[in-house]
Amino acid sequence: MEKRFTTHGDFSWSELMTRDPEGAKTFYGELLEWDFEDVPMANGNYTVVKADGKRIGGMMPMPQMLPKGTPSHWGVYITVDNVEAIAEKADELGANILLPPTDIPGMGRFMVLQDPQGAVISLIQYEEAKEQD
């Protein structure tokens, strides 16, 4: 497992949520010469983004739970050692927990928070046995 998936505080993954995954693949593929690998999931395909053969992020259809009119957007994940402890500490520090610690089957547990300044970020505790590359 790469260091970015095991180092507490490291940026580990970037992810695009979009209403037009195919258009995004065309745009970013031509712009940045990325390659893509579609992986089936419950509500459609998840697209793994690759640069020079290395997995660097993903793209997915906009989740239905987001408010209508939410624009396509990139988000980032930061690796943490213990997502439950981080959720508790973030709450104590004044963060708004937008999504409490939640399982991603086969990947780990993640959460989404809004910091006191209004910025939104995702934090993830990866399953140790899961190979990322």
Strand order in the sheet with 108-114: 35-41, 44-51, 54-61, 11-18, 73-79, 120-126, 108-114, 96-104
One DSSP character per residue, 99-112 reads EEEEEETTTEEEEE
Whether 47 maps to a domain, the answer reads: yes
* Eight-state DSSP code of residue 24: H
Whether 40 maps to a domain, the answer reads: yes
Whether 131 maps to a domain, the answer reads: no
Domain holding 55: CATH number? 3.10.180.10
The pTM (predicted TM-score) of the whole model is 0.84
CA distance 22 to 113: 28
Whether 11 maps to a domain, the answer reads: yes
The per-residue pLDDT for range 59-84, each reduced to its tens digit, is 999 888 888 888 999 999 999 999 99
- The two tokens of residue 2 are 């790469």
Whether 132 maps to a domain, the answer reads: no
The per-residue pLDDT for range 80-99, each reduced to its tens digit, is 999 999 999 999 999 999 99
> 105 to each of 16, 20, 85, 110, how far by Cα in Å?
19, 25, 20, 11
Select from 11, 35, 18 the least CA-distant residue to 74. 18
The per-residue pLDDT for range 20-72, each reduced to its tens digit, is 999 999 999 999 999 999 998 876 789 999 999 999 999 999 888 888 888 99
* Number of structural domains in the chain: 1
Whether 99 maps to a domain, the answer reads: yes
* Phi and psi torsions of 6, nearest 5°: -125, -10
Whether 133 maps to a domain, the answer reads: no
Select from 72, 77, 120 the least CA-distant residue to 96. 120
Whether 78 maps to a domain, the answer reads: yes
Range of the domain at 61: 3-126
